[in-house]
Structure 1
Amino acid sequence: MFSKETYINRRNELKNKINNGIVLITGNNDAPMNYKSNTYHFRQDSTFLYFFGIDLQNLAGVIDIDNNEEILFGDDYTIDDIIWMGPQTSLKDKAAGAGIEKTRPFAELFEYIRDAAAKKRTIHFTPPYRGENIMLLADLLNIHHREVEKNASLELTKACIDLRSIKEPCEIEEMERHMSTAWEMHTTAMRMARPGISEQEITGAIEGVSMSGGGMVSFPVICSVRGETLHNHYHGNTLKEGDLLLTDAGSESPLHYATDHTRTTPVSGKFTETQRQVYQIVLDANNKAREATRPGVPYRDVHLLACKVIASGLKELGLMKGDPDEAVNAGAHALFMPHGLGHMIGLDVHDMEDYDDTLVGYDDEIKRSSQFGLAALRLGRRLQPGFTITNEPGIYFIPALIDNWKAENKFPQFLNYEKIEAFKGFGGIRLEDDILVTGDGCRILGERIPITIEEVEAIAGKGAVK
């Protein structure tokens, strides 16, 4: 946990943003894998972590806005629990560590919420994403489980987004400290990328690096020679000469702050001339986007700049034609980059996406586009100092999408389908860094993982890190 003052200050800030009522923040419970006592690795709810910091199951926190009261609901462990788990800190001591004086048994939460509802008090909660908490809220509020999400508090959700978007110094320090684990993960994958090894072997190795560094992976690892599939979680291929290995992987720090990087490595140890050309376009887009990232700039504009760099580069290769700016405005470039440039990152790898990524990434000034490709941009609003975000341009040759657009004859003024056909087996290249927006620009968090052509070729296939 951070200092108890950190959590006290966060809750006080939240109280200043909510007009009245009760804020109810439910923690997570264990999730069984195949029977009740064989559980997945526990992951606490990020909103609960942000305001209470206690990384344990079966808890709920209440912040009474009207009476300036805070209560932690939960139960002390029994002797049977202690036999299996060892000595445990009392609920009162856990609460004290987060600056909370009042604790009550979990069962009393039902009476507390029923009493508040009877008095017509507003009960605020953020949109739940786990079935167990949906059912708990349905029981607490005496409503059908299908009605729970529509009763989530927009006022509370917006207040949480407002607070969590700007990272505190302690959060930045935690993220920066854990970037060394991310560096080890990705350099391990790059060193292991050689003909004859399986994707699964590399995936297992880098997941092990994450655990050794203090936490589980922040999302299921993407490690594939079929990098044109954006979220490819299949790991059954064996690497061979000429392949490109795309590795998109992150780790959670001991306090659950995420890393998220992508690197693309030539399995042969050297890029072919065509791979080198496409790779350099993506790298240029990454660098240009980072240079344009500064406070006050809409990240949508940074995304469009990266797209124009890609369109210009592909025009030089003969895959696109016409004016690159016009091509991007029309959305023709999205054949090659159908996703957004990046997203917020913090306690969640897609930070606060459980709240609704449009609420997180957009506002009254900058609305989400419906255009293919641009619609997938998760963060479009103006940047502020303290935002932590990803910068991840890519170029992909997706056979099904190429066939679809070609059959419809989409954007013939911008796309050279005859030359594009020859790239159907190319795969994909993505290059992703984690970035902190500063007072006058931005900087990469942690030591930059090898990314230039020369740096990547110097490490590719050179064996696992010892």
Structure 2
Amino acid sequence: MFSKETYINRRARLKSKMDKGIALIMGNVDASMNYLHNTYHFRQDSTFLYFFGLDYQGLAGVIDFESGEEILFGDDFTMDDIIWMGPQAKLKENAGLVGVAQTKELSQLKEIISKAISQGRKVHFTPPYRGENMMMMGDLLGIHPGKVKEQASLELIKACISIRSVKELCEIEEMEKHMWTAYNMHTTAMKMAHPGRTEQEITGVIEGVSMSGGGMVSFPVICSVRGETLHNHYHGNTLRKGDLLLVDAGSESPRHYATDNTRTSPVGGEFTDKQREIYQVVVDANNNALSATKPGITYKEVHLLAAKTIASGLKEVGLMKGNVDEAVAEGAHALFMPHGLGHMIGLDVHDMEDYNDTLVGYDEETTRSTQFGLAALRMGRRLEPNFVVTNEPGIYFIPALIDQWKNEGKFSEFIDYSKVEKYKEFGGIRLEDDVLVTETGSRILGERIPINPEDVEQVVKSGQ
């Protein structure tokens, strides 16, 4: 946990943005894998962690926006719990650690919620994403569990997004400190990128690096020689010389703040001329986007700059043609980069997206596009100091998409399909950093993971 004052201040900021009703902030409970007592690794709800800080099961918080009252609900551990888990602090003691004076048994939560409803007061909550909480909240609110998400409070969601978007110094320090684990994960993967190794072997090792650094992986590891599949969680391939190994992986810090980085390495330690040419275009897009990231600019503008860098670079290679600005405006480049430049990152790897990714990444000023590729941009709104975002341009050669667009004659004025055909077995390249927006610009969190082609080749060769 952070200091007690951190959580007191966060709840005070939330109360300053809300004036009616009560907030119900549910913690998570254990979820069983294949029988009741064999559970998945526990992960606390991020909203509960943010405002109440306590990282264990069976808790809920209520904040009364009219009286200012704060209550932590939970149950003290039983002797059976203590036998299996060791000595445990009382609920009252844990509440004191985060500055909550009033505690009640979890069974009393329904009484509080029912009373508020009977008085016609609004019960604010964010959208639940776990079945256990949907069931419990349905019981508390007197509605079908399947209808609970529909009743989520837009007012509370927007207040939480407003507060959590701007990272506090303690959060930035936590993320920066944990970047060393991310660095080790990715350089370890690079050193293992040699013929005969398997994707599964590399995945297992870097997951171990994450655990050794203090936390589980922040999302399922993407480790694949078929990097043209954006979220490729298949790990059954054996690496061969000439392959490109794309590793998109992150780690959770001890306080559950995420890292999220991607690097693409030449198996065996040397890019071919063809690979190096495309790789350098992605490096340029990453660096140009980083230079452009600063307060006052929308991240949609930064995305479009990266897209133009990619289109310009592919035009030099001969895969695109025509006017670059027009090609990007029409969305022709999305054949090669069908995703957005990045997203917010913090307590969640896609920060706050349990609320709704459009609400997190867009606002009244910057609205989400419906254009293929640009529609996938999760973060488009205007940047502010202490936002933390990912910067992850990429180039991919997706055979099915190439065939579809070619058969449709789509954007033939901008794409040379005869040359693109020769790249259908190329794979994909993505290069991703975690970026802090500063008062005047931006900087990469932690020591930058090797990204220049010569540096990447050197790290790969060092693992022979």
What is the TM-score when the length of structure 1 is the normalising length? 0.99
Partner of 2:400: 400
Partner of 1:181: 181
Aligned runs of 1:135-154 on 2, under 5 Å? 135-154=135-154
Report the alpha carbon displacement of residue 462 of structure 1 after superposing the two structures with TM: 2.8
Partner of 1:14: 14
Q: Deviations over 1:198-244 (max 9, x none)?
A: 00000000000000000000000000000000000000000001000
Tell me the distance in 1 between the aligned counterparts of 2:19 and 2:407. 55
Partner of 1:221: 221
Tell me the distance in 2 between the aligned counterparts of 1:88 and 1:145. 32
1:88 to 2:102 alignment: no
1:197 to 2:232 alignment: no
What is the SS of the residue equivalent to 2:24?
strand
Tell me the distance in 2 between the aligned counterparts of 1:380 and 1:67. 37
Tell me the distance in 2 between the aligned counterparts of 1:111 and 1:369. 44
Tell me the distance in 2 between the aligned counterparts of 1:99 and 1:24. 17
1:333 counterpart letter in structure 2: H
Partner of 2:443: 443
1:350 to 2:350 alignment: yes
Report the alpha carbon displacement of residue 268 of structure 1 after superposing the two structures with TM: 2.2
Tell me the distance in 1 between the aligned counterparts of 2:352 and 2:210. 22
1:34 to 2:4 alignment: no
Partner of 1:278: 278
Partner of 1:426: 426
1:331 to 2:305 alignment: no
1:294 to 2:294 alignment: yes
2:12 counterpart letter in structure 1: N
Partner of 1:24: 24
Report the alpha carbon displacement of residue 161 of structure 1 after superposing the two structures with TM: 0.1
Tell me the distance in 1 between the aligned counterparts of 2:369 and 2:277. 30
Tell me the distance in 1 between the aligned counterparts of 2:35 and 2:186. 34
Contact 1:224–1:234 under 8 Å retained in 2: yes
Tell me the distance in 2 between the aligned counterparts of 1:120 and 1:308. 53
What is the SS of the residue equivalent to 1:406?
helix
* CA RMSD in angstroms, aligned pairs only: 0.6
Partner of 2:362: 362
1:193 counterpart letter in structure 2: A
Tell me the distance in 2 between the aligned counterparts of 1:26 and 1:187. 38
Contact 1:192–1:461 under 8 Å retained in 2: no
Report the alpha carbon displacement of residue 461 of structure 1 after superposing the two structures with TM: 4.3
1:430 counterpart letter in structure 2: R
Q: Deviations over 1:397-447 (max 9, x none)?
A: 000000111111100100000000000000000000000000000000000
1:78 to 2:78 alignment: yes
Q: Deviations over 1:367-395 (max 9, x none)?
A: 00000000000000000001000000000
1:97 counterpart letter in structure 2: L
What is the SS of the residue equivalent to 1:72?
strand
Tell me the distance in 1 between the aligned counterparts of 2:66 and 2:299. 38
4+ residue segments displaced more than 4 Å: none
2:403 counterpart letter in structure 1: D
Tell me the distance in 2 between the aligned counterparts of 1:372 and 1:154. 27
What is the SS of the residue equivalent to 2:390?
strand
Report the alpha carbon displacement of residue 19 of structure 1 after superposing the two structures with TM: 1.8
Percentage identity across aligned positions? 71
Tell me the distance in 2 between the aligned counterparts of 1:103 and 1:34. 34
What is the SS of the residue equivalent to 1:67?
coil
Tell me the distance in 2 between the aligned counterparts of 1:172 and 1:342. 18
Partner of 2:244: 244
Tell me the distance in 2 between the aligned counterparts of 1:370 and 1:63. 38
Tell me the distance in 2 between the aligned counterparts of 1:3 and 1:61. 18
Tell me the distance in 2 between the aligned counterparts of 1:306 and 1:68. 46
Tell me the distance in 2 between the aligned counterparts of 1:438 and 1:372. 31
Aligned runs of 1:34-53 on 2, under 5 Å? 34-53=34-53
1:126 to 2:126 alignment: yes
Tell me the distance in 2 between the aligned counterparts of 1:215 and 1:461. 29
Partner of 2:374: 374
Tell me the distance in 1 between the aligned counterparts of 2:19 and 2:160. 14
Unaligned residue ranges in structure 2 (runs of 5+): none
Partner of 1:63: 63
Partner of 1:455: 455
Report the alpha carbon displacement of residue 147 of structure 1 after superposing the two structures with TM: 1.6
1:349 counterpart letter in structure 2: V
Tell me the distance in 2 between the aligned counterparts of 1:60 and 1:462. 50
2:59 counterpart letter in structure 1: L
Report the alpha carbon displacement of residue 66 of structure 1 after superposing the two structures with TM: 1.0
Report the alpha carbon displacement of residue 115 of structure 1 after superposing the two structures with TM: 1.0
Q: Deviations over 1:244-301 (max 9, x none)?
A: 0000000000000000000000002100001000000000000000000000000000
What is the SS of the residue equivalent to 2:423?
coil
What is the SS of the residue equivalent to 1:353?
coil
Tell me the distance in 1 between the aligned counterparts of 2:30 and 2:220. 19
Report the alpha carbon displacement of residue 463 of structure 1 after superposing the two structures with TM: 2.3
Report the alpha carbon displacement of residue 146 of structure 1 after superposing the two structures with TM: 2.1
What is the TM-score when the length of structure 2 is the normalising length? 0.99
Contact 1:226–1:428 under 8 Å retained in 2: yes
Tell me the distance in 2 between the aligned counterparts of 1:270 and 1:176. 31
Tell me the distance in 2 between the aligned counterparts of 1:421 and 1:463. 34
Partner of 1:412: 412
Tell me the distance in 1 between the aligned counterparts of 2:260 and 2:337. 19
Tell me the distance in 2 between the aligned counterparts of 1:354 and 1:84. 33
Report the alpha carbon displacement of residue 150 of structure 1 after superposing the two structures with TM: 1.2
What is the SS of the residue equivalent to 2:6?
helix
Contact 1:267–1:461 under 8 Å retained in 2: no
Partner of 2:156: 156
Partner of 2:269: 269
